[in-house]
Structure 1
């Protein structure tokens, strides 16, 4: 039977995986490096996750699961500001740094790409759809508004700034994206 698993090690291992991923990149992420950083043996990791891919899937999904705020302020503009500021905070945090490292590997790692689609991207789409649906219910927008365009355009601008140009993400940038891109796009539809 052995001794029971210590759940605190799960968190230590996941944090170590994020740290190693951010510092060494996807190719440099090894179970040895994660074990050393977490202060556990490799066997401890393999009892929880069968492979590096399984560990990363768990880490990515957990790291982004509760970080994206689902606002309900009663106003479309305010909801969009809260939602995009929440995304900017996620990107600036530890899971954001790890995600930046993984972006280059997604094309070559279909399993990771699928986790991004089913995890962080699906959660973003759900949160954005909730915001739009509430705005339609409040008659701020017409039914049938192009949710997918706006749901991709707003974060797309932030992601390009974050991943490609390296320029800072702050509330001023979010406000410009909401006021000059998203609101005109949503109200045009």
Structure 2
């Protein structure tokens, strides 16, 4: 199995003005730094490798598999759409029709799963190492569509990192304040 980010989000979930509002900052002297912090917060939280384990804003991931599994556990959510392709014996990429499968949302404690519909016979595969590909489009449609609670937690975290630029601040020995961690906890995918 191999997972690759194909298309990054076209926009962030929060902007410089969101963080500046938390900081009560009214000048533009540090806008570039705040923009960098927004990127750092996003990379820290976003995608299957982020601490939330989910896509925040619309992005495309490619999952490559060595064979047809009994089912496919999707490694990123929330899923907007998927496209399944495979390489045949002539090494030509083919598309599996959407009538062959369904996405089962397994609930808050589990990842979405692709299940094959009854009576489906999966086609033969070519000799490639990863002949099965699943393109997963996941995340909110745009930054404005991200849940307000998550947007607020991201703004607070970027503001906290702005105010506490060292690894540890005087009197605090925590990476993220407990309040922000509590806000983020409801968005974390539990495996």
TM over 0.5: no
Structure of higher CA gyration radius: 2
Structure having the larger proportion of residues in strand = 2
Larger helix share, 1 or 2? 1
TM-score, length-normalised on structure 2? 0.25
Bigger relative CO (Cα 8 Å, ≥ 6 apart)? 2
